[in-house]
Structure 1
Amino acid sequence: MRIRTSDTATFTVPVERNRLPSQISQHDTDFLPIVRPDYRLDLDGLRGVAIALVVAFHVWMGRVSGGVDVFLVLSGFFFTAMVLRHTEATGKAGTVRALRRTGRRLLPALLVVLGAITVATVLLRPYTQWEDIGRQIIASMIYSQNWYLATAELDYLAPDPSVSPLQHLWSMAVQGQFYLVILAVVAVWSLVRRLIRSPRANRVLLLIPLLAGAGASFAYATIGAGQHQSWTYYDSGARAWELLVGACIAVITPWIRVPKWARAIAATAGLAMVLSCGLIFDGAREFPGPAALYPVLATVLLILSGMGLPATHRPWANRVLASRLCTELGTLAYPFYLWHWPILIFYLAESGRVHAGLGDGMVVIGVSLLLAVITAQLVETPLRRHAGIGTTPVLSTAVYRRVVGVFVSAVGVAVLVATVGWQIIIGPAASPEPAVAASPAYPGAGALTSGVIPLPEPLRPSLFQGFADAPPPTQDGCIVPDSEVKRCVYGNPNGERTIAVVGGSHSEHWIPALEVLAQQQGFRIVTYLKQGCALTLVDQPSYSETPFPECREWSVAVIDQLALERPDWVFTISTRFRPYSDGDEVPVEFPEVWSALADRGLKILALRDTPRLRRDGVFYKAVDCLAYHGNYDSCGMNRSIALDPVDPAGAAAASYPSVFPLDLSNAVCRPERCRVSEGNILIYRDEHHLTASYSRSLAPELGRQIGAITQWW
């Protein structure tokens, strides 16, 4: 007999003696040959609606739909119910059994998709991306992709050609980590519950740590969403409360009694909330903070509205979810989720499009759905069946099952060997080397400012070493990710004159040039640097898509510290690119910072920011473009797109006697084009940061302008 599960497929169930129908969970593969009248087909359908929303919003709207949050609640509910029922029936947590069965359910499809991504990466992506994608593949295999993305400080971006084809697997990592935690909690509970005879008291005993964990996680997510959203989005600790809500519902299921009139309201409201979530909230910018209560509550309402009732007696919304269209899509939710994102990202990268339209979006969805069906029928379902039970799409024997198992294992081994091999081969080539010193063969910016035309030489740093050619604070930890006010000294530590470099990484990447000048002129460089944080006195600057109060708090502390130390000059950035149009501008918040510094008697060297590499609003790395058949000119961008004709800081600073603009655009860009290399030196280490080598070559021009302002030389 075949029954439908919330696992993404149907399967045949063998007989297990001494099991009651009430002890069978929707994730259980050891079933009696019976279809329970109270089976929750509507929750299978909810998974189908959720995956449809996830895919549609990714393909056409570039937003988070809230569907993943629905998945998280359902995963917490189903997995906890499965482990809880087994523990109560046998007296043992069955940790090894649960891990084996969960791995058999999740790993085959994941390995097949990772294998396809590995092949596509080799065929379609520049070799400069192989090492990073290889690390992400390994992280995905061991369910730590969310931490990889969090550590890399990557926002959950709308799909475009620059986004990782593995970015969506963060949610699978969060779920995998949750499963381990729940198994550990239940294992401890299974030992303690032997001392208590009351089943109700035992469940209360389990409920207490789950509720405490959910509360702590929600508080942590609330704080994190307001302080550092790009990290919080991927943080398992901030996501745990969504899964724990589902776990708590599973624990209290025997006690829940919902009035009939309330069920209809709950079901209608829950379905409406699921469908409207992505339209109301920008989940990538707000979840998993308090805004995520919306999809979480919606899922809880739909779970409760149909609980304890036969399918025919459930509210109309639950019956709609139990329809064949929704439930069939629900059986494919897992492989569909795995496939849709890499298909979309590789398509955008190959087509050169920023986003999919209606027609090509339908093709992306169709291909993803076809691959999901093939994966479910040929890989997932056979490996979940017991040998000799039921049928497979190809063979009705255990032979096919063994063949599939060998195939999936071989794919996993091949992926692991390939990705580890990339690290071994490419890793040493990407090791950092000392920044290139300007010379006749490598004049760098001198090719623009002094007209030096060198003979062609091998590019320095190389494409593999470009990202590692970083300024000193990145290498020694003097640019912080948190609110710590860290002071570091470079140049001549005993110098009588001081320049304080403050702000984010776009202030930081000028330090190699300042170090050259400091060695020549004997001044001291003091740094106060925070990742992604230009000085600001507001919680959400106009150029930021999310609140960043941690940046404001840090900025206030730095300004106060500068008032105490009183450096001779404060060096910081004066402009920023326009995010939705060409050119650059002075953000409205910058003059407020200038006033705060001027009120404390501080003078400011306000440097025009460097251009950022972008096409149609999409950022790209110079090294990737060069590795993908581009050249120094074609991988650049028109100056008119990158910069306004005149430094906008000039007019803005005219009202501030203590602000002195600096503009080195002519040392980075030609009159018509901003290239990615000049004077045999690579300009950009990523999309918008200067290599330390090119920064050093800018020292003569930077020194000329600083000297003219300060009169130090």
Structure 2
Amino acid sequence: MKIKGAVATAFLSLTLLTGVANAGEGTEWVPPLDVAARDKGEMAFDGCRPKPENIDPVMCVYGDPDSDRTVALVGDSHAMQWGPPLIRLAERRGWRLVTFLRAGCPIAQVKFESNCDQWRELAFEEIKDQRPGRIIVSTSIARRYTLTVRGRPLSRRGSEKILRKGMTHTLKRLSRLPSLVRRGPRLKLIRDQITAPFLPPKCLAEHPDDPEFCRFARKRKFGPGFDMIGATRMGLLPAIDPLEALCNLRWCYSARGNVVIYRDSDHLTATYARTLTDWLGERIGF
């Protein structure tokens, strides 16, 4: 396992705005639309995930490296997108935040791709060795995670039942770690957000005078999602639902005020994620 001592960078503090009022033609978008795709946050630029060809976990450490309060962030790139607010919380609350991340690899215990599956097993062992008192889990539930059973490719919808079972297994395995069992339930799920049916930065650029055009329905494609089903089966409720901060009761938006929410169809900009620090901190509960 590679261990990286990451140092969080100071970023502009932005106020979370409600709605999309006052945004329109001539808006100075933050981040600018032409660089929004690269607004991935500290964990991406600190190299906190292995390359696709590697199976060894890469662990980054944020917050107080000498703290006896270790919090582990586990999952794929949809877990990594929560790095910016979690780093701030680690600094404020004195956590030792450690990361176990792999892009495009479901944390659910399923047969997916060989390198992913091997990484997952190694990561579980390393997580155990780090003795976290608390674990935060997040995963994409989108179309990418289609499985193959007995040589037969399944559709994404056909894969859902297996992913639900695999996610339940993963959460059970993590919840039984000795460092968590002794301290009571300390496992928290951040649910996946909804994938936009277009590229929000591109849509905002094409409709500079009407950002509300770039909204989309608040509806998860595959029901509650295997992440939420696993958490429900394991009694790990309430889960944290980002739709509270991304959507109203009907629509999800590409921007709030002049802050761009999505850097692509299914990842938050680091800039917007940072504005959710207090919101996330209230819901984590530790």
> Which of the residues 252, 261, 283 maps onto 1:674?
252
Report what 2:207 is aligned to: 629
Question: Is 1:528 the counterpart of 2:111 in the alignment?
Answer: no
Three-state SS of the structure 1 residue aligned to 2:271 is helix
> Which of the residues 163, 167, 172 maps onto 1:590?
167
> Which of the residues 54, 57, 72 maps onto 1:500?
72
CA offsets 1:248-304 (integer angstroms, 9 cap, x no match): xxxxxxxxxxxxxxxxxxxxxxxxxxxxxxxxxxxxxxxxxxxxxxxxxxxxxxxxx
Question: Greater relative contact order: 1 or 2 (C-alpha under 8 angstroms, separation 6 or more)?
Answer: 2
- In the alignment, the residues of structure 2 paired with residue 641 and residue 509 of structure 1 have an alpha-carbon distance, to the nearest angstrom, of 19
> Which of the residues 275, 278, 282 maps onto 1:700?
278
Report what 2:115 is aligned to: 550
Flag the 1:527–1:632 CA change in 2: closer, same or farther, 3 A. Answer: same
CA apart distance, 1:642: 5.5
Q: Which amino acid aligns with 1:550?
A: N
Question: Is 1:610 the counterpart of 2:193 in the alignment?
Answer: yes
Three-state SS of the structure 2 residue aligned to 1:527 is strand
- In the alignment, the residues of structure 2 paired with residue 692 and residue 569 of structure 1 have an alpha-carbon distance, to the nearest angstrom, of 23
> Which of the residues 469, 483, 492 maps onto 2:39?
469
- In the alignment, the residues of structure 2 paired with residue 632 and residue 434 of structure 1 have an alpha-carbon distance, to the nearest angstrom, of 29
Three-state SS of the structure 2 residue aligned to 1:633 is helix
Three-state SS of the structure 2 residue aligned to 1:587 is helix
CA apart distance, 1:657: 4.5
- Bigger share in strand: 2
Three-state SS of the structure 1 residue aligned to 2:214 is coil
CA offsets 1:634-661 (integer angstroms, 9 cap, x no match): 22311135685x6875554344256762
Equivalent residues in 2 for 1:298-697, closer than 5 Å: 435-439=11-15, 443-444=16-17, 447=18, 456=23, 458-481=28-51, 482-540=54-112, 548-573=113-138, 576-577=141-142, 587-601=164-178, 602=180, 603-614=186-197, 620-629=198-207, 631-640=210-219, 644=223, 652-657=230-235, 661-697=239-275
CA offsets 1:638-690 (integer angstroms, 9 cap, x no match): 1135685x687555434425676221211011211111001321011112111
CA apart distance, 1:628: 2.5
Equivalent residues in 2 for 1:177-256, closer than 5 Å: none
8 Å CA contact 2:165, 2:230 repeated in 1: no
Flag the 1:653–1:528 CA change in 2: closer, same or farther, 3 A. Answer: closer
8 Å CA contact 2:141, 2:226 repeated in 1: no
8 Å CA contact 1:509, 1:691 repeated in 2: yes
- Bigger share in helix: 1
Flag the 1:470–1:575 CA change in 2: closer, same or farther, 3 A. Answer: closer
Q: Which amino acid aligns with 2:195?
A: R
Flag the 1:434–1:674 CA change in 2: closer, same or farther, 3 A. Answer: farther
For structure 2, list consecutive stretches of 5 or more residues without a partner in the other structure. Answer: 1-8, 145-155, 181-185
CA apart distance, 1:578: 6.0
Q: Which amino acid aligns with 2:30?
A: R
CA apart distance, 1:702: 0.7
8 Å CA contact 1:504, 1:532 repeated in 2: yes
- In the alignment, the residues of structure 1 paired with residue 108 and residue 226 of structure 2 have an alpha-carbon distance, to the nearest angstrom, of 18
- In the alignment, the residues of structure 2 paired with residue 468 and residue 575 of structure 1 have an alpha-carbon distance, to the nearest angstrom, of 19
% same residue: 27
Flag the 1:536–1:553 CA change in 2: closer, same or farther, 3 A. Answer: farther
CA offsets 1:483-536 (integer angstroms, 9 cap, x no match): 121111112223331211112110000010112212222212101111211324
8 Å CA contact 2:63, 2:91 repeated in 1: yes
8 Å CA contact 1:575, 1:648 repeated in 2: no
8 Å CA contact 1:510, 1:695 repeated in 2: yes
- In the alignment, the residues of structure 1 paired with residue 36 and residue 11 of structure 2 have an alpha-carbon distance, to the nearest angstrom, of 10
Equivalent residues in 2 for 1:276-315, closer than 5 Å: none
CA apart distance, 1:438: 2.0
Q: Which amino acid aligns with 2:191?
A: R
- In the alignment, the residues of structure 1 paired with residue 258 and residue 123 of structure 2 have an alpha-carbon distance, to the nearest angstrom, of 38
- In the alignment, the residues of structure 1 paired with residue 37 and residue 278 of structure 2 have an alpha-carbon distance, to the nearest angstrom, of 24
Three-state SS of the structure 1 residue aligned to 2:74 is strand
Flag the 1:500–1:677 CA change in 2: closer, same or farther, 3 A. Answer: same
8 Å CA contact 1:537, 1:556 repeated in 2: no
- In the alignment, the residues of structure 2 paired with residue 660 and residue 550 of structure 1 have an alpha-carbon distance, to the nearest angstrom, of 32
8 Å CA contact 2:107, 2:120 repeated in 1: yes
- In the alignment, the residues of structure 1 paired with residue 11 and residue 215 of structure 2 have an alpha-carbon distance, to the nearest angstrom, of 22
Three-state SS of the structure 1 residue aligned to 2:274 is helix
Q: Which amino acid aligns with 1:587?
A: R
The number of residue pairs the alignment matches comes to 252
Three-state SS of the structure 1 residue aligned to 2:60 is strand
Flag the 1:483–1:528 CA change in 2: closer, same or farther, 3 A. Answer: same
- In the alignment, the residues of structure 1 paired with residue 235 and residue 228 of structure 2 have an alpha-carbon distance, to the nearest angstrom, of 12
Q: Which amino acid aligns with 1:661?
A: A
- In the alignment, the residues of structure 2 paired with residue 692 and residue 610 of structure 1 have an alpha-carbon distance, to the nearest angstrom, of 15
8 Å CA contact 1:467, 1:685 repeated in 2: yes
8 Å CA contact 1:436, 1:461 repeated in 2: no
Q: Which amino acid aligns with 1:437?
A: S
8 Å CA contact 1:528, 1:558 repeated in 2: yes
CA offsets 1:589-627 (integer angstroms, 9 cap, x no match): 21111122123244421110111111xxxxx32122222
Flag the 1:681–1:703 CA change in 2: closer, same or farther, 3 A. Answer: same
CA apart distance, 1:699: 1.1
- In the alignment, the residues of structure 2 paired with residue 437 and residue 487 of structure 1 have an alpha-carbon distance, to the nearest angstrom, of 27
- In the alignment, the residues of structure 2 paired with residue 563 and residue 501 of structure 1 have an alpha-carbon distance, to the nearest angstrom, of 13
Q: Which amino acid aligns with 2:218?
A: R
Report what 1:280 is aligned to: none
- In the alignment, the residues of structure 1 paired with residue 234 and residue 242 of structure 2 have an alpha-carbon distance, to the nearest angstrom, of 21
- In the alignment, the residues of structure 2 paired with residue 591 and residue 692 of structure 1 have an alpha-carbon distance, to the nearest angstrom, of 29
- In the alignment, the residues of structure 2 paired with residue 624 and residue 575 of structure 1 have an alpha-carbon distance, to the nearest angstrom, of 22
When normalised by structure 1's length, the TM-score is 0.33
CA apart distance, 1:463: 0.5
Q: Which amino acid aligns with 1:520?
A: R
- In the alignment, the residues of structure 2 paired with residue 569 and residue 659 of structure 1 have an alpha-carbon distance, to the nearest angstrom, of 15
Q: Which amino acid aligns with 2:14?
A: A
